[in-house]
Amino acid sequence: MGIPSDDYQDLVSLKARYFLYLDTKQWPQLAELFAPDATIGTFGDSGPAAFVQLLAERLAGITCVHQGFTPRFEQVSAVEVHGVWAMQEVLYWDPATHSHSPTDLPGQFGVRGYGHYHDTYRRTADGWRIKSQSLQRLVDEPLIASGAFGPASLRIAGVAPEPGRAKA
């Protein structure tokens, strides 16, 4: 069963803010997108505060880009919706200072991942909030430097210098 178009737009906006706050590391704003009693299963079950703290620690020094596509929503009740999002993420880091276990390989400077977010949303007095979230990963593809392609060939804030400029 579909959902009303206003709810559809609100949920798409909510998930867009999730990706924006995640990629720009706006941790307090990210935490506000979750219901206080939310359960997040991305790194094992945790509540919003623990999840956001873990993200802040794991993504320190890493540039990330997350994208969500083709949302599918099902109305569960008047105040609850289940959603599934196809997703792609790319994480970049300086291999001299970071690694990404368990997939860290020689020359690895990032990872590209694909999968699906499975979310439940709850309507609150403050609008829609994420009640539960889990990420089903399908592929994690290591990004390995080879030849001219690698960290030095990328112009990524905080990872590689702009052309003609030394990294500070």
Q: What is the largest CA-CA distance in the chain?
A: 57
**What is the CATH number assigned to the segment(s) 5-153?**
3.10.450.50
Sheet of strand 80-92: strand arrangement: 34-40, 127-144, 108-124, 80-92, 63-77
d(CA 83, CA 74): 6
3-state helix, strand, coil in the chain (%, to 5): 25, 45, 35
**Pick from 28, 88, 29, 100: nearest CA to 59:** 100
pLDDT computed for residue 7 by the predictor: 97
pTM of the model: 0.85
Q: How far apart are CA 64 and CA 6, in angstroms?
A: 30
**pLDDT per residue as tens digits for the range 47-66:** 999 999 999 999 999 999 99
CA 12 to CA 123: how far, in whole Å? 14
CB 100 within 8 A of CB 91: yes
- The model's pLDDT over 81-140, given as tens digits with 9 standing for 90+, comes to 999 999 999 999 888 887 766 667 888 889 999 999 999 999 999 999 999 999 999 999
Domain boundaries defined on the chain:
5-153
